[in-house]
Amino acid sequence: MEREKMVEELAGIVGKENVLSSETDLLLYGYDASLFRGRPDCIVLPGSTEEVSKIVKFARANGIHIVARGSGTNLSGGTIPTQGGIVLHFSRMNRVLEIDIENQRAVVEPGIFTLVLKNQLARYGYIYQPDPASEKVSTLGGNFGENSGGPHCLKYGVTTNHILGAEVVLYDGEVIQVGGKALDHPGYDLTGVLVGSEGTLGIATKLILRIMPKPEAVKTMLAIYNSLEDAGRTVSAIIADGIIPATLEMIDRLTIKAVEESIHAGFPLDAEAVLLIELDGLKDGMERLAERIMEICRKNNVREVKVAKTEAERAQLWAGRRGAFGAVARLRPNYFVCDGTVPRTRLPEVLTRVMEIGRRYGLAIANVFHAGDGNLHPLILFDERNEEELRKVHLAGSEILKLCADAGGTISGEHGIGTEKMKEMLFVFNSQDIAAMKKVKKAFDPEDVYNPGKVLPEQTLSA
Amino acid sequence: MKQEELKTLLYDEIAKCNRCGFCLAVCPVYTVKGREWATPRGKNALIRAIIENKIDWTPEIEETLFRCTGCRLCTQTCFPAVETNQGVLAGRECLVDRRQYPKVVDRVVEALEKNFNISGESNQSRSMWVEGLGEVPDHKFQKERAEVIYFVGCVAAFYPMAHKIPQTFVRILDRAGVDFTILGGEEWCCGFPLIQAGMKEKMGKLVEHNEQKVKEVGAKAVVFACPSCYHTWKERYHTDAELLHSTQFMERLIEEKKIAFNNGIERKVTYHDPCDLGRNSGVYDPPRNILRKIPNLHLVELEGNRQLSVCCGGGGDLEMIDPELSAAIAQRKVEEIQRTGADEVVTSCQQCIRTISGYARKHKIKIRVKDITEVVWEAMVK
């Protein structure tokens, strides 16, 4: 369809001011936080479910693809319009529709920043648990699409454990409700299917979330190590002891350097690794639990364990952790985040081999990750403008994922597959597995309207 | 600036942007517009695309680059601290080189070239605010030699709504026994509007003139109530004189016991950090120290304070380029102020006052906005 005609039709649905199609806009909606680029045919900013439904009906009738998008913080290219079409930017649908404290539920539109909801809940002493590092800008619709994780997901589970239902626009524009406010719903768990489907099955226009009272007490500790292996062994030992802290994050020397140059978070520059361990829950017994953890740290040669004394100190430590990805851009201009998961017991060994891969390609690698989940985030440092280096980065990234898969882990912890890791899907799934997923895609979106060219590798799509 | 220079000057800086998007959450322009072009990330991407010859200077790029308040909250919250505003200003210089910029800019440039101030009036009217003071010394605060020059700035001098600032500030200086002068018609615009317009090469004449005046007066210090003048002098002027913002100078006068407060003021106030004073010049404590010295005055902080202060909407000459956008940003500022429950918002910038009270007046919102000099004077005479 001619772009002019498309823009005109869409303007009829959402108003002229909410359709963007200039050269500049097409460039600006062609990226996210990954290394991939695409180019949409136009961008639409819907204001209601009804508008979304009309847009989808129009797109389907005209064979146009649709990619839904929030803040574009995606790390695996999930929001890249690889085959043109319409990008739906949800910045206008950003309201909190309901906060139901008695029933511990919140209902929101998809374009709201995760942290904006959290700030509103804080007034009631409540919290929405998932905390992706990008929460201050990531949208809940994006979290839904990616099944986002975050440090506190060790104890509380990832996004899917906190989404109870949604209003979803299907490929033909029909609007359905999945799940609901109750804990368990009869019929198929379509909410479970849709969360983490990366916008390939449907578009959520309303989300029902589980919210919880804020824990009574929080204790944040920084365990400082002279060796990465000792830090890794501590992680396994804590979990093996039956303790599930709220967070168990590891940050290595190179990342510490970058973070400390960026903000003074309080990570010691001469440490090989630090663990950011947070406990939350009832006040009673917390001291004892903290002491048990410190004892495990000591047994594993910890140099020192510091406890955050004030809320400000705690906030500063977390600011350092959340900004770690961005901060490494102080060392080299760009970073490529790998997102692999391994069984916790294999962490020390896999880490060593990750560093070997870096050395082999001549690439510096910084590590900051959800150690408690065994979810690695090696950050490969490079300069995107150097094509040879960029090529090596992709090769090294793929090797790291192979390493994780071979160690009994998998190729994504929380960042999704997107355009980035489609071929790596074959590291963990065989063609029957992929074919089963393809059937789900076909059932939801037989005409490939939504987010084409993502998640499932091409060769098996046609199988 | 020529496009080729962009690459030399800014390619490495802009390349540090990894499109993480953390800046979206804080950018006042994106908060209002909700479109990618409004984001600091998007501005970086466009400058980069220009450098890499992937896009031409489209009309939308002009629109985008001229819609930035220069508040630098993006850089403050960016972990690699990408200096997006440097890219924006350099981009504007390139646009000027192509004669592709908002026409309203020409009016200001013409005014500056003709009258050495941003208003359409003769520069001799610079001290008209003195008339409103009632009884004044014979020299009307214009002396040939003085220890201190009070550099009034265009907005405070020419816009009657802002006259209260120089009027109270000279009263304070006078009462404190400071040997000071204003430059009257010999004060020329500091050049800030030209930097914002992407025409910084035109400011040489203004800078030279003002520097020369400091020498002639033999001043040891130049004091500014306008954060943008202060910041421009700090960044671009060469002078042996000490450069101080009014809050720094008043804090010193309080320490030297030249300013004293009596009964104080029983009131709850909040303080808004102007971008050019706080984030861009690093002056956070002097205004707070002053307010805390006033007996019975209770200071509550805004949600975004000090380094994280959110622009009022008047930064970077945005009010001139896009008054509607500026007002929409001001609306959010007003809401933030209201959430503190304070009786009054105090700031130390005539532009912030203009933007905040302008919005409040237009929408009939009762909110008292004061410059810190007014509060100090009130506490001195009460």
pLDDT digits (tens, 9 = 90+) for A390-430: 999 999 999 999 999 999 999 998 899 999 999 999 999 99
Per domain, the residue ranges of chain B are 3-97, 104-254, 263-381
Provide the percentage of residues in chain A whose pLDDT is more than 90.
93
Q: How far apart are CA A90 and CA B286, in angstroms?
A: 42
pLDDT digits (tens, 9 = 90+) for B89-138: 999 999 999 999 999 999 999 999 999 999 989 999 999 999 999 889 99
CB contact under 8 A, B55 and A27: yes
Residue A350 above 50 pLDDT? yes
Q: How far apart are CA A296 and CA A6, in angstroms?
A: 63
Residue A11 above 60 pLDDT? yes
Question: A366, A255 in Cβ contact below 8 A?
Answer: yes
Distance from CA of B42 to the nearest CA of A (A): 6
Residues in B 288-327 with any Cβ partner in A closer than 8 A: none
| Amino acid letter, A2 | E
User: Residue A459: pLDDT band by 50, 70, 90 thresholds?
Assistant: low
**Strand A378-382 with A334-337, pairing:** antiparallel
pLDDT digits (tens, 9 = 90+) for B296-333: 999 999 999 999 999 999 999 899 999 999 999 999 99
Q: How far apart are CA A172 and CA A202, in angstroms?
A: 10
pLDDT digits (tens, 9 = 90+) for B155-164: 999 999 999 9
User: Residue A226: pLDDT band by 50, 70, 90 thresholds?
Assistant: very high
ipTM of the complex: 0.94
Which residues of chain B make contact with A120, given a CB cutoff of 8 A?
Answer: none
Which residues of chain A make contact with B60, given a CB cutoff of 8 A?
Answer: 22-25
Which residues of chain A make contact with B49, given a CB cutoff of 8 A?
Answer: 27
User: Residue A377: pLDDT band by 50, 70, 90 thresholds?
Assistant: very high
Residue A462 above 60 pLDDT? no
Per-residue burial over A67-98, b if 16 or more Cβ lie within 10 Å, else e, is bbbbbbbbbbbbbbbbbbbbbbbbbbbbeeee
Distance from CA of A72 to the nearest CA of B (A): 7
pLDDT digits (tens, 9 = 90+) for B328-356: 999 999 999 999 999 999 999 999 999 99
Q: What is the pLDDT of residue B2?
A: 87
Q: What is the CATH number of domain B3-97?
A: 1.10.1060.10
Residue A463 above 90 pLDDT? no
User: Searching chain A, which residue's CA lies closest to the CA of residue B23?
Assistant: A137
**Strand B180-181 with B148-151, pairing:** parallel
CB contact under 8 A, B21 and A33: yes
Q: Which three-class secondary structure state does DSSP give residue A231?
A: helix
Q: What is the mean pLDDT of chain B?
A: 96
List of domains in chain A: 3-89 (3.30.43.10), 96-213 (3.30.465.10), 215-324 (3.30.70.2190), 332-445 (3.30.70.2740)
Degrees to nearest 5, angle at CA A300 with A298 and A302: 55
CB contact under 8 A, A384 and B37: no
Residue A325 above 90 pLDDT? no
> Is A90's Cβ below 8 Å from some Cβ in B?
no
Q: Left (φ > 0), alpha (ψ -120 to 50) or beta: where does B328 sit?
A: alpha
User: Searching chain A, which residue's CA lies closest to the CA of residue B40?
Assistant: A28
Q: If you average pLDDT over residues B264-289, what whole number do you get?
A: 97
CB contact under 8 A, B20 and A326: yes
Which residue in this structure is represented by tokens 């949604």?
A166
Distance from CA of A332 to the nearest CA of B (A): 8
pLDDT digits (tens, 9 = 90+) for A13-54: 999 999 999 999 999 999 999 999 999 999 999 999 999 999
CB contact under 8 A, B54 and A89: no
- Strand partners of residue A378: A367
Topology of domain B104-254, per CATH?
Rossmann fold (3.40.50)
Distance from CA of B78 to the nearest CA of A (A): 7
Q: How many CB atoms lie within 10 A of CB B113?
A: 11
Which residues of chain A make contact with B81, given a CB cutoff of 8 A?
Answer: 262, 330
Q: What is the pLDDT of residue A461?
A: 43
Do the domains at B3-97 and B104-254 have one common CATH topology? no
Distance from CA of A27 to the nearest CA of B (A): 8
pLDDT digits (tens, 9 = 90+) for B178-228: 999 999 999 999 999 999 999 999 999 999 999 999 999 999 999 999 999
Q: What is the pLDDT of residue A1?
A: 82
> Is B339's Cβ below 8 Å from some Cβ in A?
no
Q: What is the CATH number of domain B263-381?
A: 3.40.50.10700
Provide the percentage of residues in chain A whose pLDDT is more than 70.
99
Q: How far apart are CA A267 and CA A249, in angstroms?
A: 13
Which residues of chain B make contact with A326, given a CB cutoff of 8 A?
Answer: 18, 20, 22, 78-80
Which residues of chain B make contact with A43, given a CB cutoff of 8 A?
Answer: 36
Q: How far apart are CA B215 and CA A25, in angstroms?
A: 51
Residue A360 above 60 pLDDT? yes
Best of B12, B27, B35, B44 to mutate (most A CBs within 10 Å, chain A): B35
DSSP H or E run through A319: helix A311-322
Supply the pTM of this predicted model: 0.95
CB contact under 8 A, B55 and A20: no
Calculated CA dihedral for residues B101, B106, B112, B117, nearest 10 degrees = -90
Q: At A228, give phi and psi (nearest 5°).
A: -65, -40
Q: Which of A254-263, A358-367, B242-251 shows the lowest per-residue confidence on average (mean pLDDT)? A: A254-263
Q: Which of A292-296, B20-24, B315-319 shows the lowest per-residue confidence on average (mean pLDDT)? A: B315-319
Which residues of chain B make contact with A73, given a CB cutoff of 8 A?
Answer: 20-21
User: Searching chain A, which residue's CA lies closest to the CA of residue B50?
Assistant: A24
Residues in A 361-390 with any Cβ partner in B closer than 8 A: 383-385
SS3 readout for chain B: CCHHHHHHHHHHHHHCCCCCCHHHHCCHHHHHHCCHHHCHHHHHHHHHHHHCCCCCCCHHHHHHHCCCCCCCHHHHCCCCCCCHHHHHHHHHHHHHHCCCCCCHHHHHHHHHHHHCCCCCCCHHHHHHHHHHHCCCCCCCCCCCCCCEEEECCHHHHHCHHHCHHHHHHHHHHHHCCCCEECCHHHCCCCCHHHHHCCCHHHHHHHHHHHHHHHHHHCCCEEEECCHHHHHHHHHHCCCCCEEEEHHHHHHHHHHCCCCCCCCCCCEEEEECCCCCCCCCCCCCHHHHHHHHHCCCEEEEECCCCHHHCCCCCCHHHHHHHCHHHHHHHHHHHHHHHHHHCCCEEEECCHHHHHHHHHHHHHCCCCCEEEEHHHHHHHHHHC
Q: At A431, give phi and psi (nearest 5°).
A: -65, -25
Residue B273 above 70 pLDDT? yes
Distance from CA of A92 to the nearest CA of B (A): 7
Residue A460 above 50 pLDDT? no
> Is B21's Cβ below 8 Å from some Cβ in A?
yes
Q: At B135, give phi and psi (nearest 5°).
A: -75, 125
